[in-house]
Structure formats: C-alpha cells, structure tokens
Chains A and B, each alone.
Chain A
Amino acid sequence: MRELKITSVTLPTFTLVLSLLMIFLTPDVYSADIGNCLLCHKYPGLSRVDEKGKLRLLYINEDIFNNSVHAKVKCEGCHLDIQKIPHDPAKKVDCLAECHIKEPSSEQKFSHKDIEKTVAMSVHSKYDKDGKEKKFSEDLPTCKECHDEPLYRPISFFKQVRAGISELSLSRCKSCHKKEDFIYKFYNHVTSRMHRTRNPLNIAESCSRCHDDLQIIKRHNLSAKAAFSYGETFHGKAARFMDERIPDCLDCHVKKGDASHLMLSKENPESAIHEKNKGKICASIDCHPSASPKLAKYGVHSEFSLDRSPAQYYFTVFFIILTGGTLLPLMGIILLDLIRKLFPNAMIRRRK
C-alpha cells in the first residue's frame, strides 16, 4: 500500500493489465460475493494514477496479508464503506473502527479505541493539558503516521531463541488441536508479542519522519534531530546492524510497565527521560544493570552541529584541519620524492 512514483515502465504495464482484466472479467465476477476482494485485488498490476500524478498500487499480496497481524480481519472489517461490488472509490480507513472481531476474554467487539486514549495522554496528543488544541496540531502523529501494516514476527524457544516458527513447537500444539490454521495463527499471535513487532531500526525510522524534520523541530521547540542523533551513538549504530538487544526509542521513552504509546515530554516529571528518572532507564536489567545515575548524564542524543554543541563542532573542525594540515605537506614531500626519482640527475645549476 505504498505510493509509487510513475515510471515509464509502470504506466504501460498498468494500462495493459487493467485492460486484460476488463476483458476477462465476466458478469459473473461482477456479482461476486462482497467478501471476495482478492478476486480483483490479487492482480499485481491493479493500480491507479491519483490526482497528484502518483501511481497507487492497489494490489494486495495474499501471502503478506495472511502473515500480517490483521490476517483474521476481513477486508470489509476495515474498509467499512465498501458495501457492493463493483465498488465506489473507498474512504480512508479509520483505525479506531469496531471490526467484526470479538475480544475473547471480554466477548466485546474489538477496536483500538483504548490506544487512542493513551496517545491522547502522551506528548503526541493534539490537545494540551487544558484540552485546548495545540499550535501546529497537524504535525502530531495519527495512528497511520507511525504504523504501517506490521507482519507477524514469531519467535521460537524450543531449544534456542530464534526468529520464526519452530516446527517442533507446532507439532506439540498438533497433538491436541486439530486445525493447522488455528495453531499457526495463534502461535504467530502469541509469540509475536513476546518481543517488539518492529526492530529498533524500523521504530527509529518511523519516528524520524517527524523527529528529523528541521521544520517540525523548530516549530515545536525540540532541541535534537532525535533519530539522527540516535544514529550517531552506538545504540543507533547497532540498530543499523539489526542488533535487537540495544535500546530503541520506546525502551527509553516509555516507562517500564506503561503502554507503548505513553511517550512523555522530558519536562513531565512522570516521563522516563525526566532528569530524576533518567538513571533508572540506563540501569534497566537488560542494559547497564550496575549503572549509577551518573551514566544517565551522558548525551544519548548527541549531535555535533554548530548551534547545538559549538565546542565539539570546533573541535571536529580543528581535527580536520590538523589532518589535512599534516597530511598534505607530507604527501607533497612524497610526491616530490617520486618525481625526483624519475629524474635522478636533473640539476638546476648556475652557469659559471
């Protein structure tokens, strides 16, 4: 469901596929059952150029969809406005809609409304403490700005912790449960929640669209290019290398035990990054268990730009000049030496 730019290749392909589709679609298909969305949407070429001239791929990969956390939700459980086939242009999906699934422990219709409440308590709320709309509230993230459709990331513990499903665990479920589908789905459902659905790099990238945006930083008086500066420290570097043991944004910005979305401002005394709480994050059992609060003094969002840290900035410049300043003359000597080796007997002599 990404937006693609039209290229000279995609446009003709798209037209071709669409016309082929029109030929093969019989009246029978048109009257298809409302649930059978993939009948059309399984075709990779199904796409459209929108008003802005961007190509939108309307193709749904069944495999990917079936491995996503929403696999059990029917298409029209989210695309509520699609009532008949062929259908009209669809409205945007509302993540807070009640879908046709029941949450089994309470038997209530399921929705993500609770998460909205948490987001509303966090720094990303569109409203301030007194319930007034914040300035530039359009900069604040909605569900869909932080989330794409996540895939299941199951892990297995059978002998060793490793990514993916363990055949051995599955076969154990099979001794009591009969339906493969059921076992597979719930194994995915449960084990995916035993670690983050996204790796630290993914999370950083989803925050970077706003937190590395200089205009948003300026408008909201933030002081750091947060995702960039994270990438400058070892935490972020290891995240680049797909290490999952290092802290991601949420490990530091959400207090242990709080809901994932409860990120708070550093000014908020309740926040994990507040001056007096900082030490506890570093000393977390999985990180630096023996750390004293001193460790938390170090900058985790260090950024060595001129306006943020002039001393460090000038220091870097000094070093670059030092490197260039020593290396270039030395290289000069080598070059002269080489040239001289080519003409060993050349001499500038004063005529007598």
Chain B
Amino acid sequence: MATTENMSITPEAAEAAGDFYTYVEGVGNIPRDIYKHVKSDPLGDLPRYSIHIVTQHFLTFISFLILAATGLTLHFADLWWASFAISLFGGAETGRLIHRISAIVMVAASVYHLVTIIGGTISKSMRKRFDIKRTQIPLPKDLQDIIHDFRYFIGKEPYRPKMEKFMYKQKLHYLAILWGTFVLISAGSMLLFPEKMATILPNPVFFQDLARLLHADEAVMAITVVVFWHWSNVHLVPGRFPLQWSFITGRITREHQIEEHFLEYLNNLKEIPEEREYMKKILREKGLETY
C-alpha cells in the first residue's frame, strides 16, 4: 500500500502509484494521506461558510432546540417529565407562545437562507464562477463516493474518496433538512391557522388530522436525525469532539478539508496563494517535492 513514508518520489513512482498522487501546478505531487502530516488549527484554516450561512445556522439551531423542547413537551404531555418541563416554559399557554415565536425565527432563517442561496447562485453565474460541483446538488459522483467510502470502511480501499466541498452525507442531510423544514412549516401553519386552511383545503378534516400527525412525526424524526446523525457525525466523532468550530468560525480545518473534501482543497490551492506556499513547505519537509 502506498503511504508517504515508504515511497520515494520520482515521477515514475508517482505514475506507478496512480491515484495516490495528485499533481497540482506550482505545488507538486500531493499524496492522498498528506492530511496526516499537516498542521491544523482546531478553529479552522480554510474558508468554508460565509457569514450569512453561519448566521442562518445559528438562528436555525437555536430555534430548532427551543421548538424541539417545547414541542416534545406538548406532544408527550402524558409522560412524567412533561409537567416539569412545561413549568420551565411557564405553563402550556406560554409554552405554545414560545413555540410559535421560535417557529417565526426558523421560518425567517429559512427565507434568509433561500435568499442567500438563490442570490449567491445568480451573482456567481453572472461572474461565470458558478460551479455545480461545489453546491449541495446531488450528482452521480456522490453515488460513486458512497460505494467507494463503503469499500473503504470494510477495508477494500486504502483511502477515502476524493470528495467535493459537500460530500454525500452532507447532501443527504441537507436534502433531509429541506424536506423536513418544508413539511414542518406547512403542517405547522395548518395547525396555527385552522380556519384559513378550512377555506383553502379540499378536505379540511382529513388534512387537519394529517397535519397533526405529520407535524409531530416529522418533528420526532428531525430530532432523532439531528441528535444521532448530525451531532454524532459532525461534532461528536473522534477528531471532531467536542465541537467542530466551523459553525462559529465558518472555517474548516486543513486536515478535515484534505481528508473529506480533497477536491475542494484543490480549489483552495488554486484560490489561496498562502495555502500553496504552505503545501509546498510541507512537501519539502517530507522530502516529497517534485523536481
């Protein structure tokens, strides 16, 4: 198996290692496992999220947590802890009010997000800098990545796939959030404006029942996904624990970028001269520079 330690780096060797090296103009042959040797600031080295996205994440996760706490308490009113929890929110009436206010915050954050995403896409397209590979849109490559990653997990591949800015896990999660927010907001509005909905919908009784079920079921699902999937994947796994600071700094660590978003790292090399210098220096230190 090819690793940085046991390969002396002549162009022929690079050729022979195939996928292992990626040649970058002006930097050299970058071995796939270089992330094990780079320095990383836990607060993040490379840009990933704009201040808008960071703000949206903040608004969303705070309102989400409050919605989940008040919502679960109301939904599971008959469980023993619910009456304690509801006193925290100041009773059923106030609990509902808090739930609704947080809902407004979340809707606002979602609208803000749509505006940023659509606006950003338009402005990038105008400057001819839009690149579909750097978006959350699922592409056939993601399927290949899943297969590749799966093979890696069971030990049939030596390295993770080279992935874009958003890898398949994140795309799945993003889609789930889009769908979940859509369902929760529409079902929630049906519950909030029963009269309006009775005039709009063809079979209000059925839809009201449906909304009641949907809102609760979808919320429970969203909470499970956030706890067991998002938190464990993003913040709790070894290497990321206790938190991945990207959600505050908007920056990603170098190590993480190279390991999971290698192709985006190549973009970084193109766009950030200092990063090129840094990579060159590392390659030189490891005796890996190409002549």
Residues of B within 8 Å of A57, CB to CB, are: none
Of A104-112, A115-123, A128-136, A235-243, the stretch lying at the interface with chain B is A235-243
Residues of A within 8 Å of B239, CB to CB, are: 341
B217 contacts partner chain A, Cβ-Cβ < 8 Å: yes
Q: Is the CB of A302 within 8 A of B209?
A: yes
Rounded to whole Å, the gap between the CB of B205 and the closest CB of chain A is 5
B118 contacts partner chain A, Cβ-Cβ < 8 Å: no
Roughly how many angstroms separate A348 CA and B151 CA in the complex, as a whole number?
10
Residues of B within 8 Å of A336, CB to CB, are: 150, 153-154
B74 contacts partner chain A, Cβ-Cβ < 8 Å: yes
Partner of B237 from A242, A319, A337, A343 at Cβ < 8 Å? A337
A24 contacts partner chain B, Cβ-Cβ < 8 Å: no
Q: Is the CB of B91 within 8 A of A243?
A: yes
A322 contacts partner chain B, Cβ-Cβ < 8 Å: yes
Residues of A within 8 Å of B158, CB to CB, are: 347
B210 contacts partner chain A, Cβ-Cβ < 8 Å: yes
A330 contacts partner chain B, Cβ-Cβ < 8 Å: yes
Roughly how many angstroms separate A4 CA and B158 CA in the complex, as a whole number?
69
A297 contacts partner chain B, Cβ-Cβ < 8 Å: yes
Q: Is the CB of B210 within 8 A of A312?
A: yes
Residues of A within 8 Å of B199, CB to CB, are: 294
Within 8 A of B (CB), among A205-264: 231, 233-234, 236-238, 240-243, 245-246
Partner of B212 from A245, A302, A326 at Cβ < 8 Å? A302
Roughly how many angstroms separate A69 CA and B156 CA in the complex, as a whole number?
79
Given contacts A336-B150, A340-B153, A341-B237, A298 and B208 within 8 Å (CB-CB): yes
Within 8 A of B (CB), among A295-345: 295, 297-299, 302, 304, 309, 311-312, 315-316, 319-320, 322-323, 326-327, 330-331, 333-334, 336-341, 343, 345
A-B contact count (CB 8 A): 123
| Mask: chain B, 174-205; 1 = CB below 8 Å from A; 0 = not | 00100000000000000000110011000011
Roughly how many angstroms separate A256 CA and B232 CA in the complex, as a whole number?
55
A292 contacts partner chain B, Cβ-Cβ < 8 Å: yes
A346 contacts partner chain B, Cβ-Cβ < 8 Å: yes
Most A CB contacts (10 A, CB to CB) among B82, B209, B220 go to B209
| Mask: chain B, 67-111; 1 = CB below 8 Å from A; 0 = not | 000000011011000110010000111010000000000000000
Partner of B233 from A240, A334, A341 at Cβ < 8 Å? A334
Rounded to whole Å, the gap between the CB of B143 and the closest CB of chain A is 14
Number of interface residues of B (CB under 8 A): 49
Closest to A241 in B: B92
Number of interface residues of A (CB under 8 A): 48
Partner of A319 from B77, B172, B208, B218 at Cβ < 8 Å? B218
Within 8 A of A (CB), among B129-178: 149-150, 152-156, 158, 169, 172, 176
Residues of B within 8 Å of A234, CB to CB, are: 74
Residues of A within 8 Å of B153, CB to CB, are: 333, 336-337, 339-340
Roughly how many angstroms separate A316 CA and B213 CA in the complex, as a whole number?
7
A71 contacts partner chain B, Cβ-Cβ < 8 Å: no
Residues of B within 8 Å of A294, CB to CB, are: 195, 198-199, 204
Given contacts A234-B74, A299-B209, A319-B221, A241 and B82 within 8 Å (CB-CB): yes
Q: Is the CB of A331 within 8 A of B228?
A: yes
Partner of B77 from A231, A298, A302, A311 at Cβ < 8 Å? A231
Most A CB contacts (10 A, CB to CB) among B75, B155, B233 go to B155
B126 contacts partner chain A, Cβ-Cβ < 8 Å: no
Q: Is the CB of B218 within 8 A of A231?
A: no
Roughly how many angstroms separate A312 CA and B206 CA in the complex, as a whole number?
8
Q: Is the CB of A338 within 8 A of B238?
A: yes
Partner of A348 from B154, B172, B213 at Cβ < 8 Å? B154
A291 contacts partner chain B, Cβ-Cβ < 8 Å: yes
Roughly how many angstroms separate A181 CA and B109 CA in the complex, as a whole number?
62
Rounded to whole Å, the gap between the CB of A162 and the closest CB of chain B is 14
Partner of B210 from A237, A245, A315, A320 at Cβ < 8 Å? A315
Closest to A288 in B: B195
Q: Is the CB of B152 within 8 A of A340?
A: yes
| Mask: chain B, 1-31; 1 = CB below 8 Å from A; 0 = not | 1000000000000000000000000000000
Partner of B195 from A241, A295, A315, A319 at Cβ < 8 Å? A295
Q: Is the CB of A327 within 8 A of B228?
A: yes
Residues of A within 8 Å of B198, CB to CB, are: 292, 294-295, 297-298
Residues of B within 8 Å of A347, CB to CB, are: 1, 155-156, 158
Q: Is the CB of A245 within 8 A of B228?
A: no
Q: Is the CB of A240 within 8 A of B1?
A: no
Residues of B within 8 Å of A304, CB to CB, are: 209, 213
Residues of B within 8 Å of A341, CB to CB, are: 237-239
Q: Is the CB of B229 within 8 A of A323?
A: no
Given contacts A295-B195, A319-B218, A340-B152, A330 and B209 within 8 Å (CB-CB): no
B224 contacts partner chain A, Cβ-Cβ < 8 Å: yes
Roughly how many angstroms separate A339 CA and B237 CA in the complex, as a whole number?
11
Within 8 A of A (CB), among B232-251: 232-233, 237-239
Roughly how many angstroms separate A345 CA and B2 CA in the complex, as a whole number?
11
Offer 15 A-B interface pairs, CB within 8 angstroms, sorted by A: A237-B75, A237-B92, A238-B77, A240-B78, A241-B82, A292-B198, A295-B195, A320-B217, A323-B217, A326-B176, A326-B225, A333-B149, A334-B233, A339-B153, A343-B155
By Cβ-Cβ distance, the 8 closest A-B pairs, closest first, are A336-B153, A237-B77, A294-B198, A241-B92, A319-B217, A238-B92, A240-B77, A323-B221
Given A236-B77, A237-B92, A302-B212, 13 further pairs, Cβ under 8 A? A231-B78, A241-B82, A241-B95, A294-B198, A312-B213, A315-B214, A323-B217, A323-B221, A327-B228, A334-B237, A336-B150, A341-B239, A346-B155
